[in-house]
Structure 1
Amino acid sequence: MEYIRISSIEDPLFRSLHQLMTEVFPPEEVLEFSLWKEPLEDPGIRVFVAVHEGEVVGTTEYRYYPDWNVAMTDFTIIGREGLGIGRFLATSRLKDLQALAAAEGQELLGMFAEIYDPYRVEDFAFGGVKPMDPFVRREVLSHLGYQRLDFPYVHPSWLGDGEAVTGLDLCFMPGDEERTSLSAGLVADFLTRYYSVLDSKPQSWHAMVEQLRSADKVELRPL
């Protein structure tokens, strides 16, 4: 299996990647095809596909923030079962991020990720691919070391319509397993920069960020 970076919407592999996203994720979670041009050309956004026998069978997007020494996993998609795609993507991504942190003379502080909570909302549909089942995905993140940041989380819809998307948790996988909390200011700064690409955000999102800025730290809880 090959781990290949995508940096242009003209790359034939990107069309397969985008089709995989539309098959797996709900519409409000998928950026329209043409709007990917700038993100893919951004050197700070890393989009990779897992290619098996010439076919895109999985993908992951993530980014590294050297000033905070943290990363964010935007998404991970497993398109077929029985190939070890999840493990392949996770280990390849971590190696890449560790190399990026090492180039900055640091050891990676940790990585953010959003995850659906199917125990609160039960009608998520993920294209019928069993490894993408929200219960499975949540347990996989727990096995990888992710923990839930303990605050009510909401994020702006990627449709750009200013609607709030709920039913998710913001999680963090600390590099130090003994870490029990994260600076609330870091979380607020991260979310502000991460969602700066969306001009329209719901009031509930702004209120959430302000509440974080008034706090000292956010506890890490088990998934």
Structure 2
Amino acid sequence: MEYRRITNIEDPLFKKMHQLMQHVFPPEEVLEFDLWKEPLEDPGIRVFVAVHEGNVVGATEYRYYEDFNVAMTDFTIIGQAGLSIGRFLVQKRLEDLNSLAAANGKQLYGMFAEIYDPYRIEHYEFGGVKTMDPYVRREVLSHLGYKRLDFAYVHPSWNNDGEAVTGLDLCFLPTDDNMDELQTALVVKFLKRYYSVLSNKPKSWNEMIEFLEARESVALLPI
């Protein structure tokens, strides 16, 4: 299996990856094809695919913020069972992030991720791909060490229509597994940077930011 980076929408692998995303994720979670041009060309956004026998069978997008020394996992797609795609992507991603942190003269502090909570919202559309079942994904991420930030989380729709997307938790994978809280200053700075591309924020998102800014820290809880 190959770990291949995509930096251009003209790359034939990108078309296959985008089709896989449309097959797996709800429509509001998938950026339109043409809107990927700038993100793919952004050196800070790292999009990799797992290629098996010429087919894209998995993908992951993430980014590393040098000034925060944290990463964000945008998404991970396991498109086929029986190939250990998840383990392959996790290992390759961590190797890449550790090298980026080392080049920054640091040890990676941790990694954010948005995780669906099927216990709150029972029905999610994931294209019938069993490996992407939200119950399975949540448990896998728990096994990896992710912890839930203890506040009601919403995020702006990637349609940039001002709608709030709910039913997810903002989680964090600390390098130090004994960490039980996170400074809200880091959370707020990260969220503002991450969603700066979306100009139309919902009111509930702004209220969430205000809630966090009024606190010094937020607990990290099991998921």
Q: TM-score, normalised by structure 2?
A: 0.99
Aligned to 2:22: 22
* Equivalence map 1:1-223=2 (5 Å): 1-223=1-223
**Helix, strand or coil for the counterpart of 1:80?**
coil
* Structure 2: 5+ residue stretches without partners: none
Question: Structure 2: which amino acid aligns with 1:212?
Answer: L
**How far apart, CA to CA, are the structure 1 residues paired with 2:114 and 2:96?**
20
Classify the secondary structure of the residue corresponding to 1:188.
helix
1:8, 1:158 → 2: CA distance? 20
- How large is the RMSD of aligned CA atoms in angstroms? 0.4
SS in 1 for 2:204: helix
Q: CA deviation at 1:211?
A: 1.0
Q: Secondary structure at the match of 2:153?
A: coil
**Percent identity at matched positions?**
71
Cα distance in 1 for residues equivalent to 2:2 and 2:144: 22
Tell me, what secondary structure is at the counterpart of 1:131? helix
Paired with 1:184 and 1:104, the residues of 2 have a C-alpha distance of: 23
CA distance in 2, matches of 1:61, 1:21: 11
Letter in 2 for 1:133: D
Q: Any idea what SS the aligned residue of 1:207 has? A: helix
- How many Å apart are 1:72 and its aligned residue? 0.1
Q: Distance in 1 between the 2:212 and 2:102 partners?
A: 30
Unaligned runs of 5+ in 1: none
Aligned amino acid, residue 106 of structure 1? K
State how far apart, in whole Å, the 2-side matches of 1:143 and 1:215 are.
29
**For residue 120 of structure 2, what is the amino acid of its counterpart?**
R
Aligned amino acid, residue 51 of structure 1: V
**Aligned partner letter, 2:196:** S
Say which SS state the counterpart of residue 101 (structure 1) adopts. helix
Normalising by structure 1, we get a TM-score of 0.99
| Structure 2 residue matching 1:75: 3-state secondary structure | strand
